[in-house]
Amino acid sequence: MIELTPGLQYGNIAYGTGQAHSYWLGTVNLAVRPTPRTELGLFYVKQEATGVSPLAFDQVSLDHLLTARIGQAVTAADWIWAAVTYTLVTPPASVKEYTFSWARAGAWTASVTFRQTDGRVFLGLALP
C-alpha cells in the first residue's frame, strides 16, 4: 500500500493589543507499507508567518522539516515507531530531533523525543 496525503492550513491570530500575525502550513505525507506489519514514511512540512505575537508560545516562524519514520507492528493493536527529523532551513540539512514512540490503536500513543539542537528530552502522551 502507498498513501500520499497533502495538507494546507492557514491561520490569522489577532490580539487585544492590536498586534496580529498570520501563518500558513503546508504538508506532504508519504506512507508505504511493504508488509502489513511494517510502515515507512516521509513527512515534509513547510511553514511561514508574518506579523508579531505578544505571546512567545504561539509565534509561528519559518521552518522546513523532513521526517523519516519506520514502524513495526508488535501486536494487531500495538505499533512501535522510530523517527528522525531534519531541519532544512539552514544548509546543510541537520538533525533536529529523534523520536521513539509506542502506539495502541484507538487508545494512546506514548513518545520520547530528544531534540538535538538544545539537548532537551520530551515525554509525550496522546489520547484519542
Kindly list the distances between the CA atom of residue 53 and the CA atoms of 46, 47, 57, in Å, as whole numbers in the listed order: 20, 16, 9
Residue type, 93: A
Q: State the total domains in the chain.
A: 1
The residue segments making up the domain with residue 36 are 2-126
90 band by pLDDT with thresholds 50, 70 and 90: confident
Read off the pLDDT of residues 29-63 as tens digits, 9 standing for 90 and up: 999 999 999 999 999 999 998 887 777 666 677 78
Cα–Cα dist 110/81, whole Å: 10
